[in-house]
Amino acid sequence: MKEQKKGIARRHFLGSSLAGMAGIFVLPRLGSSISIPADTDIKLGFIGMGQQAMFLLNGFLQIPGIQVVAGCDVYGIKRKRFEKRVNAFNIKAGQEAKVGTYEKFEDLLARNDINAVVIAVPDHSHARIAIAACKAGKDIYL
């Protein structure tokens, strides 16, 4: 009897997984109303500048076509560290982009030049900031 229950659960899991994978490929094409031309850099802002954000920043800075232009954190020392790291990368890469930093995430979301945001804040703040980012028309990495 236990073998039969495991088989049903496994089939259900596989079916759900396949449906989820299909959704990943189909839904973005249906719901995408904002398009960025292929020859345009994606301007990225970071909300939260702790350890996770610094790890993600190192990865995003290496991707061609991504330009980190802003960051936000309530702690001034984290804003300075972020600004220093991004500006050092831009100088080394020969880019003139200067990064802006903010204490309040609403100020970052108000920038029209930012296409997407990375939200790297404590879990209890995810929903509130993600909803605000959606309302501001930003793509989100959360």
Instruction: Please give the pLDDT value at position 95.
Output: 85
Rounded Cα gap, residues 131 and 109, in angstroms: 11
- Contact between 94 and 24 (Cβ < 8 Å): no
- Contact between 46 and 70 (Cβ < 8 Å): yes
Given a cut of 70, the residues of the chain with pLDDT beneath it are: 1-39
| Backbone conformation region of residue 128, classed left if phi is above 0, alpha if psi is from -120 to 50, else beta | alpha
**CA 55 to each of CA 46, 58, 62: distance values in angstroms, whole numbers, following the listed order:** 12, 5, 12
CATH of domain 42-141: 3.40.50.720
Return the structure tokens found at 11: 């089939």
Does this model's pTM top 0.85? My answer is: no
Instruction: Please give the pLDDT value at position 41.
Output: 85
Other CB atoms within 10 Å distance of the CB of residue 124? 7
Side by side, the strands of the sheet bearing 42-47 are: 100-102, 66-72, 42-47, 116-119, 139-141
Return the structure tokens found at 71: 């960051």
